[in-house]
Chains A and B, each alone.
Chain A
Amino acid sequence: MTEPLIACNRLCVELGGAKVLDGLSLSVHEGDFLAVLGPNGGGKTTLLKVMLGLVKPSSGSVTVFGKEPGQASGRIGYVPQRLDFDRTFPISAMEVVLMGRLSRKKLFQRYVREDRRKALEALETTGLASLAQRRIGALSGGELQRALIARALAGEPELLLLDEPTASVDPDMKTTIYDLLDQLRKRHTIVLVTHDTGTIGRHVSRIACLNCTLDMHEPGSTLGRAALEKLYHFPVDVVEHRETQTPHRHA
């Protein structure tokens, strides 16, 4: 087994005195496509922010690419939860995607042709090349979500961290985004955080259930109704978790 890209060891995080993550151990290896499921407020976004170095753990340890979080910014692509920013901001999709190149540039270095080429490639991968010059406010929810994925890809990361990429798009676009992720997992290690229990099991290689504490489900297992109800404290869909592309079954 190679060294894990992310290793969390008995990680605890407190925000404003409340325990958000409690004794969480987790490792992500190269080639993984890990989905972290859990209810809102269960600490999913906090977990990503710990990995990004935005939130400091109160105890336990985290390493990302063998270093402290925040020290490997050029190797991580982050797709934040949408709607955090101003849709009326005067900026084109291309300019947003170019920001993905920031971690590879030094202060005072300007964006050059190489950066624009990588940004355009990322837009092509996400199917947005024709909308490159479109103002960000004129994009639909799904297009905006894909633009943010393109921004993460433009930095040529090895690891992609996605926060609720399907939370604010319609069901049709959800499929498009999952198809895109299926394609991206061939070249990237992916950690995806979602409260969407519906179709996720078909696409990922591992599932973790997070509600303050973490429950790991390895390939081949079915995440049963009992486990999910324990996680969410109310009845939810069963997540069928198979590696093979079997027809989707609604519980």
Chain B
Amino acid sequence: MWSSIAKRKRPTAMPDFLHFEFMRNAFLAAILSSVACGIIGAYVVVRRLGFISGGIAHTAFGGIGLSYYLGLNPLAGIIPFSLAAAIGIGLLSRKAKIAEDTAIGAFWAAGMSIGVILIGLTPGYAPNLFSYLFGNILTVPNSDLQLIMGLDVLIIAMVWLFDKEFLAISFDEEYARISGLKTVALDLLMLCLIALTVVIMVRVVGIVMVIALLTIPAAVARSFSHNLYRMMAVGALLASLFSIAGLWLSWVFDLASGATIIVVAALVFLLNALFGAGKHRRTEC
């Protein structure tokens, strides 16, 4: 449907395509998800939690399978699965002394497998499966927008409440522990916030590409930021720029929206890395 609209009435200016409700929703989803992305992405990048975030996202596929099997809204399955993945990976690697990448790998594959099995057990064809793997920002219903907004508020509130503790465990976890902080609990809380961000991002770019939007905007923001909070703000701004630019390009050239957003982000990341490396060499001598 959407490609035929695009061909019949290819717009020349941005506001044109905002006449469609699904496009307005897509824009809102892009901007709202970028808020969570910028804030949580900053922690993911400075604490190098990219791989664990990928593990949480892929484990969440099991939740999608469960929702299909039970006939529920997929987000109803993703939320408990991603939270369980966050706590499970966190506890296994921090308490049971299992290497973190081993724990992540096990959850990652097990979550995907559960999803595949449950979808296979569900009678009939699973029509929207592809959109959860690779995202489809053009089909975000109003109810999901409300959920995304609610999760945004929750994430901002948690980060505001725990900012000095999160900064301490990110910068120097041992010192935080010596100072009397419950570092394992704080760590698990942060992983749960990553899980909730994953839930938000699944709508926009899908499970497979979540890591890109959790890391790229924050990584680019890092080169312009002297503190973590500025990094969050710049990261959120960049994430929304990438999403809107990607969305617009996907509309103009009739491409998959999630993938286009990621390609835009990756290009900026590469340019920044190349330019940044050059700048770094100059300042070094």
Contact = CB atoms under 8 A, between A and B. Distances in A.
Question: Are these two chains actual partners, yes or no?
Answer: yes
Interface of A: 52-54, 70, 73-74, 76, 78, 80, 84-86, 88-92, 95-96, 98-99, 102-103, 105, 107-108, 110-111, 135, 151, 155
Nearest to B163: A110
The 7 closest A-B pairs by CB, nearest first: A102-B179, A103-B179, A73-B180, A90-B225, A135-B226, A52-B178, A103-B180
A96 B168 CA distance: 8
Contact of A95 (B180, B181, B227): B227
Given A54-B174, A73-B180, A90 B164 contact: no
Nearest to B47: A86
A34 B178 CA distance: 21
Contact of A99 (B175, B228, B230, B231): B175
Interface string B146-172: 000000000000000111110110111
B231 A90 contact: yes
A78 B175 contact: yes
At the interface, is chain A mostly helix, strand, loop or mixed? loop
A29 B226 CA distance: 42
Nearest to A135: B226
A160 to B, nearest CB: 13
Nearest to A111: B164
A102 B164 contact: yes
A108 B158 CA distance: 10
Which of A84, A90, A95, A151 gathers the greatest number of chain B CB atoms within 10 Å? A90
B158 to A, nearest CB: 11
A70 B180 CA distance: 7
B188 interface: no
B175 A91 contact: no
A91 B179 CA distance: 19
Contacts of B174: 54, 80, 84
B222 A90 contact: yes
A80 B174 CA distance: 9
A91 B171 contact: yes
Contacts of B228: 90-91
20 contacts: A54-B174, A73-B178, A73-B179, A78-B178, A80-B174, A85-B171, A86-B171, A88-B222, A89-B170, A89-B171, A90-B222, A90-B227, A99-B168, A99-B171, A102-B165, A102-B181, A107-B162, A110-B164, A151-B175, A155-B179
A194 B228 CA distance: 33
Interface string B222-256: 10011110110000000000000000000000000
A107 B163 CA distance: 10
Most buried by A among B162, B172, B176: B172
Contacts, number: 72
Contacts of B161: 108
B177 interface: yes
A103 B181 CA distance: 8
A92 B226 contact: yes
A80 B172 contact: yes
A205 to B, nearest CB: 25
Contacts of B181: 102
A124 B103 CA distance: 46
A151 B174 CA distance: 14
A104 to B, nearest CB: 9
B226 A102 contact: no
Contacts of B225: 90
Given A99-B164, A102-B164, A102-B179, 15 more contacts: A52-B178, A73-B179, A78-B178, A80-B174, A84-B172, A84-B174, A88-B222, A90-B226, A91-B171, A91-B228, A96-B171, A98-B164, A103-B178, A103-B180, A108-B161
Given A89-B46, A90-B222, A95 B178 contact: no
A95 B175 contact: no
B239 to A, nearest CB: 17
A78 to B, nearest CB: 5
Contacts of B167: 91, 95, 99
A189 B181 CA distance: 24
A74 B181 CA distance: 12
B284 to A, nearest CB: 13
B221 to A, nearest CB: 9
B67 to A, nearest CB: 35
A107 B180 contact: no
B230 A90 contact: yes
A248 B226 CA distance: 43
A101 to B, nearest CB: 9
Contacts of B222: 88, 90
Nearest to B45: A90
